[in-house]
Structure 1
Amino acid sequence: MGQLTREQIKINKVKTSKIDSIDFNNLAFGQVFSDHMLTCDYIDGKWQLPQIEPFAPISLMPSAKIFHYGQSIFEGMKAYKDSNNDIFLFRPLDNVKRLNISAKRLAIPEIPEDYFMEGLKALLNIEKDWIPTKEGSSLYIRPFTFATGEGFHASPADNYKFIIACAPSGSYFAGKVKVLIEEKYSRSANGGVGFAKAGGNYAGQFYPTQLAKDKGYQQVIWTDDTTHEYIEEAGAMNVFVRINDTLLTSPVSDRILDGVTRKSILELAKAEGIKTEVRKIKVSELVEAAKNGSLKEIFGAGTAAVISPISGFGFRDQDFDLPEIKDTFGEKLKNKIVAIQTNKTEDPFGWRIKV
């Protein structure tokens, strides 16, 4: 298979764009979609050439295996536009790599890196006017792959579809969130698919999260599946804890996603002289730190929100509020990451890629 070129990508543009009907000053997250999407089908044992077509419904047979056996994976990315109208991506090759790690775990054919990257760049060049420039906004990018092959037999599908769709979006969360430490339900287990961005991982989170919302919390902090003694993730994000002046986060594992934002925070914190530790964090340690005043911050980290500060947590019918402090690690690191993403500062790490 030769390297895919931009010229090989068939493009079918919409007759009339809907962009003029969109209020870019009031964008919710992931609710408005751009004119086009990239599609690519896996048929006869190989990926066909990608094409760009109007964003539109997909026709599938009721026997398509995605509906029955859940072979579905995705990624989350963003595109940014600077004051010169240049377009930038943030660590996109990490997303390609992780999508293929997820694909391998779910017995889905891996997408070639050039199909992903050249297809995405071609799509962004067509959708460049959909990239918002308002502070805090971006073009959210959702690459995903799912089984289209048919049959009720419990086995991997023979056909698949890869799509990249885009949604101009505002901020993911508004303000701080309060979380409940979960002791009954588990997000994932050893040997499972917690490290993959599989759709089923998120489906399984919704019910426990709703129970937490019924109690007045916005999200759940997940604990390990065996003992529930260690915190692992916050909602759909990696979680960071600051005790005194040390920033802590859990090590990645079968159960914990290797987040792109997580890795960036660790590298950036080290460069900023912030002490970091990647180790298991006991719930009892978190509670004790909250009681003695050494717990300064908790925040979630992920592509959608970048960093989402947590104002307090609940555990066994007791609530713990975090102190209001200035110059938080979370705010400092978020500002620096966003500045790199939006080409407002130098990028010494080589994370930013111009489209």
Structure 2
Amino acid sequence: MNISITKTAAPKQKPDQSHLGFGIHFTDHMFIMDYTEGKGWHDARIVPYGPMAVDPSAMALHYGQAIFEGLKAYRTANGEILLFRPEKNMQRVNNSNRLLCIPEINVDDCVQAIKELVKVDAYWIPSAPGTSLYIRPFIFASEPALGVRPAHSYQFVIILSPVGAYYKEGINPVKIYVESNYVRAVRGGLGEAKTVANYAASLKAQVEAKEQGYTQVLWLDGVEKKYVEEVGTMNVFFKINGEVVTPALTGTILPGITRMSTIELLKKAGVPVSERKITIQEIYDAHAAGKLEEAFGTGTAAVISPIGEFSWNGNVIKVNDGKIGEVSQRVYDTITGIQSGELEDTFGWIQKL
């Protein structure tokens, strides 16, 4: 794929690495590629970061035909730049595309676009411990038309953001509110896609959870409201009586890249892992029996988030005395060690720029 590059004439001042936050600062450039029906994806370009001209009748604004991804670039102690399984994120782009009737995109082209953009803005990759360069690819329907149908034109865009820890708690356990009223997804819907609609559907419950002092929401299934699905920004795992259990992918849960990596890592280490349906009652029963040993979430933004507390219908339980567990710590240390280049990548997950 040929990518034209136009450098900015006014580079920004980089933010202080100790106060990056998450998704607040953006680099000097962005990638854009257009899709036109009958022509396909075309006109790949890297241009200065800035406002985009979007028609008021752009179909994404009216009918929500938009998807996105999230991954990171890391700078090692010796200055190398590493990407963690970028091809898996781009394969997931196409799964989301299929579900939203967006034209599929070449995975190798997507990875190339990410690498070229990261190279152009490599100066922005932070080097302080725990920091990284967040990569946000997204696609939206750009056709100016009103009418409920798949659009005929789209834009594929990639922006970059230097980031610190996703949660202010860091690797310390977070408090999770179990949602029993609102629902996020049902089978046959868009639950397994990384689409803007899923996140819009989660906002009301998230706001109410935060008002009660909880970091995130744990969603239950949308039909019986008893089976555990995922946390708003993470897949979820439980260690029960020596076995690590995570909800099976049944079409309502996003197939996380960190989730996939965690399962592969644990299996290689000989830790019993199962993917199955699990009820919230089972979690509470395991806690009552003293068998709920750990709980943690996995995702690109935070990598691993230990869970120290659940609140379900007013019933609050503490997990592992509110401390990080041995499995959570091991998974975090291994994945972040591979991502930073401090540990050998025996899985073949890393791509170097």
1:207 aligns with 2:204: yes
1:61 to 34, 55, 68: 55
Residue 301 of structure 1 corresponds to: 298
Identical pairs, percent: 41
1:270 aligns with 2:267: yes
Native 8 Å contact 1:34 1:127 kept in 2: yes
SS in 1 for 2:204: helix
Quote how far apart the aligned CAs of 1:186 are. 1.2
Residue 34 of structure 2 corresponds to: 41
Native 8 Å contact 1:265 1:333 kept in 2: yes
Quote how far apart the aligned CAs of 1:283 are. 1.1
1:28 aligns with 2:25: no
Counterparts of 2:77 and 2:90, CA distance in 1:
27
Map residues 50-129 of structure 1 onto 2, 5 A cutoff.
50-129=44-123
Residue 337 of structure 2 corresponds to: 339
Quote how far apart the aligned CAs of 1:323 are. 2.2
Quote how far apart the aligned CAs of 1:327 are. 5.2
Residue 152 of structure 1 corresponds to: 146
Residue 252 of structure 1 corresponds to: 249
TM-score, normalised by the number of residues in structure 2: 0.96
Quote how far apart the aligned CAs of 1:151 are. 1.1
Letter in 2 for 1:85: G
Counterparts of 2:320 and 2:259, CA distance in 1:
23
Counterparts of 1:226 and 1:331, CA distance in 2:
34
Aligned length: 348
1:179 aligns with 2:173: no
Residue 230 of structure 2 corresponds to: 233
1:321 to 318, 323, 327: 318
- Structure 1 unaligned runs (5+)? none
Counterparts of 1:200 and 1:282, CA distance in 2:
25
Residue 10 of structure 1 corresponds to: 4
Quote how far apart the aligned CAs of 1:21 are. 4.2
Counterparts of 1:329 and 1:168, CA distance in 2:
28
Counterparts of 1:253 and 1:17, CA distance in 2:
46
Quote how far apart the aligned CAs of 1:288 are. 0.9
Counterparts of 1:301 and 1:63, CA distance in 2:
37
Quote how far apart the aligned CAs of 1:110 are. 1.1
SS in 1 for 2:43: coil
1:310 aligns with 2:307: yes
Native 8 Å contact 2:75 2:126 kept in 1: yes
- Structure 2 unaligned runs (5+)? none
TM-score, normalised by the number of residues in structure 1: 0.95
Residue 126 of structure 2 corresponds to: 132
Counterparts of 2:66 and 2:41, CA distance in 1:
16
Counterparts of 2:319 and 2:19, CA distance in 1:
31
Native 8 Å contact 1:50 1:115 kept in 2: no
Counterparts of 1:209 and 1:224, CA distance in 2:
16
- In 2 relative to 1, CA 152–327 (structure 1 residues): closer, same or farther, beyond 3 Å? closer
Counterparts of 2:234 and 2:117, CA distance in 1:
27
Quote how far apart the aligned CAs of 1:326 are. 6.3
Quote how far apart the aligned CAs of 1:230 are. 0.9
Letter in 2 for 1:50: A
Counterparts of 1:348 and 1:142, CA distance in 2:
27
Residue 352 of structure 1 corresponds to: 350
137-146 vs 218-227, which deviates more? 218-227
Quote how far apart the aligned CAs of 1:219 are. 1.4
SS in 2 for 1:25: helix
Quote how far apart the aligned CAs of 1:29 are. 0.6
314-323 vs 69-78, which deviates more? 314-323
CA displacement, residues 139-194 of structure 1 (integer Å, 9 cap, x when unaligned) = 00000000000111111111100001000000001222211211221110010010
Native 8 Å contact 1:179 1:312 kept in 2: yes
Native 8 Å contact 1:65 1:151 kept in 2: yes
Letter in 2 for 1:81: R
2:221 to 219, 224, 228: 224
Quote how far apart the aligned CAs of 1:242 are. 1.0
Counterparts of 2:202 and 2:309, CA distance in 1:
20
